[in-house]
Amino acid sequence: MSHGREKAIKFGTGASLVGVVTEPAPGTATADKPAFLLLNSGILHRVGSCRLSVRVARALSAQGFTSLRFDYSGIGDSDQRRDALPFEESSVLETREAMDYLTKTKGIKRFVLMGLCSGSDMAHETAVVDDRVVALMMLDAWAYKTPMYHVHRFMQRYAPKLFNWRVWQNSIRIRWQMLRGTYQGWRKPDPTQGVELEVATYVRVFPPKERVERDLRLFVERGIALYFVWTGGLREYKYRGQYAASFKGVNFNGHLREEYLPEADHIITGLKQQDLVLNNVVAWANALG
Amino acid sequence: MNPLYFGRAPKALFGVYHPPKASQARGSGVVLCYPFGQEYMRAHRAFRQMALLLAKNGFHVLRFDYSGTGDSSGDGTDATLADWIHDAGEAADELKETAEISRVSFVGLRLGAAIAAAAADGRTDVDQVVLWDPAVRGSDYLVEILTERTDSVGHSRTSRSDGGTIGSMGFPVTTRLRTELEQFDLLAVGPPRGTSARLLVTSHEREEFSRVASHQLPGVKLTTQLVPSDGSWNEVDDYGGALIPVLLIQAIVAYLSQESV
């Protein structure tokens, strides 16, 4: 698949942020197409989980879309900020700076935000405050339980195990070890000298459902297209349609597309699942116009 | 720090050049060779920290993504070990040209160490090669990266695709790459021309590291150093935990600083 030129850039005011702009493939660009911003997932740098962001950027380029994948401050190649802004605020600010950059250099004024996990959280938060966002592509976004969630959870998790003797055997063994104080499973390993385990400063806490519902009404009012995909790796989501069912008070009016990939893990390591996500995102982008 | 693309399209490689702190500038550079797959994701920030520390100590530094990996051009399913070794050589040439220097060193982690050594083989401009927890026998390395793993809810992280490609925790390992790795042995790699130095730095003890430690190459002054630390590169978690073994990075920078002018 041929794609457009890629350019390494630095931008941002609060920190020096590093990103890569992928231009539309020659002969595919049209003035009306929005640009995609591909956001960090956790502390994975801008290439995305299993290089998904790079592949998405190039596939979109072949269809005439510009994209920018970049690192938030303190992640990947980007510097730490000099101010004390918390990640929840700096990431929104920096996403808006990424939009400013593409507006200034390419004249693009409409944007699609795409993110996995924390990337989807930041996409949501940015869309609330910036009306240049016209669409959201979210992987493993915040999810909320419904009565049917519990039914599906039971069917997926426990029903196959009820008649499995090995599961019962293990359960009895673990409980016996716990009674004797010999169970090892929950003990944390000792920290190793001289190693720092770098983890995201952002702690993922799903916001109150009422707040998200209010945001969703705003998104629908602004005509934002919503494409949500959940993997089997997010414990809070168990069946296709759960998101719409958990927000019955919102009339999505055809703006919501919801998919479930139960076979995929949270970081989408399956090669076939990666291809599926890639193809679906490109098809959805083309339908956006 | 300057992110850039180098090399000719459609084989452009992504790299980040770290110029030296002006007052400490040395006349030599260091090319950093990443490991592969999830190990690359896990080591990315550590390599950035190492590059910053080397630049602070006066080195010109270039870290780069091999073709078909990271931000570099190409698809993972087209990547070959031969290309990656060629890419490392190209990165060294790029660094020499950008920084206007004549000598380079290589630092590589895991498969990156094997690539670094192979790229330095026969070159006339190499000062040092640092092998950090190196992949020694390609066949052993393959077994490690293709070992079946599951996530916290039991999903397999080894997958299969068309044409015999196997996904190692999300990164394609093609039939061709497997064949190349099967045939690779670090001990069969030759030294740079002239005199050079080699550091074997390891986070833990391992039989294959002992083989490298006892392997003498003509014209190469070998130093070995054990810096006990977490060497669990071949792992992944859902939130992308990165390892930054500070003491080991400091040991590498100290070694290069002592050995260079």
Residue A159 predicted with pLDDT over 80: no
Q: What is the pLDDT of residue B114?
A: 98
Q: How far is A2 from chain B (nearest CA, A)?
A: 9
A192 falls in which pLDDT band (50, 70, 90)? Answer: very low
Residue A7 pairs with which residues in a beta bridge? Answer: A21
Q: If you average pLDDT over every residue of chain A, what do you get?
A: 90
Residue B52 touches chain A, beta carbons under 8 Å: no
Q: List all residues 6 or more positions away from A251 whose beta carbon is below 8 Å from its beta carbon.
A: A220
Residue B141 touches chain A, beta carbons under 8 Å: no
Domain ranges for chain B: 2-137+186-259
Give B-chain residues touching A117 at CB under 8 angstroms: 238-239
Give A-chain residues touching B230 at CB under 8 angstroms: 192, 195, 197
Q: What is the pLDDT of residue A66?
A: 97
Q: If you average pLDDT over every residue of chain B, what do you get?
A: 93
Mean pLDDT over residues B214-228, rounded?
95
ipTM, interface predicted TM-score of the complex: 0.94
Q: Confirm or reject CATH 3.40.50.1820 for domain B2-137+186-259, answering yes or no.
A: yes
Q: List all residues 6 or more positions away from B131 whose beta carbon is below 8 Å from its beta carbon.
A: B108, B113, B116, B117, B186, B198, B199, B200, B201, B212
The single-letter code of the amino acid at B226 is: L
Residue A195 predicted with pLDDT over 70: no
Q: Is B5 close to A16, i.e. CB distance below 8 A? A: no
Residue A20 pairs with which residues in a beta bridge? Answer: A8, A69
Taking only the tens place, the pLDDT of each residue in A221-269 is 999 999 999 999 999 999 999 999 999 999 999 999 999 999 999 999 9
Q: Are B96 and B62 in contact (CB under 8 A)?
A: no
Give A-chain residues touching B247 at CB under 8 angstroms: 193-194
Of A95-104, A175-184, A245-254, B210-219, the least confident? A175-184
Closest CA to A264 of A49, A46, A113: A49
Mean pLDDT over residues A69-98, rounded?
94
Query: Count of CB contacts below 8 A, A vs B?
Result: 147
Give B-chain residues touching A272 at CB under 8 angstroms: 159, 161
Residue A187 predicted with pLDDT over 60: no
Looking at the partner chain, which of A9, A20, A267 has a beta carbon nearest the beta carbon of B238? A267
Residue B254 touches chain A, beta carbons under 8 Å: no
Taking only the tens place, the pLDDT of each residue in B72-113 is 999 999 999 999 999 999 999 999 999 999 999 999 999 999
Residue B76 touches chain A, beta carbons under 8 Å: yes
Give the percent of chain B with pLDDT over 70.
97
Closest CA to B250 of B56, B5, B6, B39: B56
Q: Are A239 and A149 in contact (CB under 8 A)?
A: yes
Taking only the tens place, the pLDDT of each residue in A87-97 is 999 999 999 99
Looking at the partner chain, which of A5, A20, A194 has a beta carbon nearest the beta carbon of B248? A194
Q: Is A269 close to B247, i.e. CB distance below 8 A? A: no
Q: Are B51 and B43 in contact (CB under 8 A)?
A: no
Mean pLDDT over residues B195-200, rounded?
96
Looking at the partner chain, which of B71, B171, B172 has a beta carbon nearest the beta carbon of A20? B71
Rg over CA atoms, chain A: 21
Q: What is the pLDDT of residue A193?
A: 44
Q: What is the pLDDT of residue B147?
A: 86
Residue B60 predicted with pLDDT over 70: yes
Assigned token pair, B86: 């060629």
